[in-house]
Amino acid sequence: MRRSEARELLMQMLFQMEAQNDFSEKACAAFRSVYLERSSQIDYFNKVYQRFVSNRKEIDDQINAVASGWKTSRMARVDLAVLRLCVTEMMFLNEPDVPQATSINEAVDLAKKFGGEHSGKFVNGILGKLSRKGL
């Protein structure tokens, strides 16, 4: 499994967790057992999940700070899941082999693939602001 495929699964899991209001380890384990049982990306997947759960409020605060006229509570769930995934990577994963631009580009691609007509632009705008802010 490639990193981009793991990102897609993470986004789907974060979407599901938001929809069910269940960010528990049990929910993550159930998702993981179905989609990532023998994946080469399991360590990455677990690291992103743990960092997100531990820092969810701070991640949402960063998104809210630059999302003019929007709050995470009002955002489309797909857009929110994509943003949370990318912001988690930007803030809490210090992996030199993954440039921030790569994370942002893949996030925009996920938003275009799974979101609404304007999701790609919306996600790109917010992540661009966060990147320029030095996140």
Series of mean pLDDT values for 10-residue runs along the chain (135 residues): 91 97 96 88 93 97 94 96 97 81 95 97 97 89
Q: Are 128 and 104 in contact, with CB atoms under 8 Å apart? A: yes
At residue 98, φ and ψ (nearest 5 deg) are -120, 95
At the top level of CATH, which class does the domain 3-132 belong to? mainly alpha
Spatial distance between the Cα atoms of 98 and 66, rounded to a whole number of angstroms? 23
pLDDT at 63: 98
Domain boundaries, the chain: 3-132
Q: Are 18 and 80 in contact, with CB atoms under 8 Å apart? A: yes
Picking from 47, 54, 51, the residue whose alpha carbon sits closest to that of residue 32 is 47
pLDDT at 51: 96
pLDDT at 58: 98
Spatial distance between the Cα atoms of 110 and 127, rounded to a whole number of angstroms? 13
Other Cβ atoms closer than 10 A to 114: 18
pLDDT at 62: 97
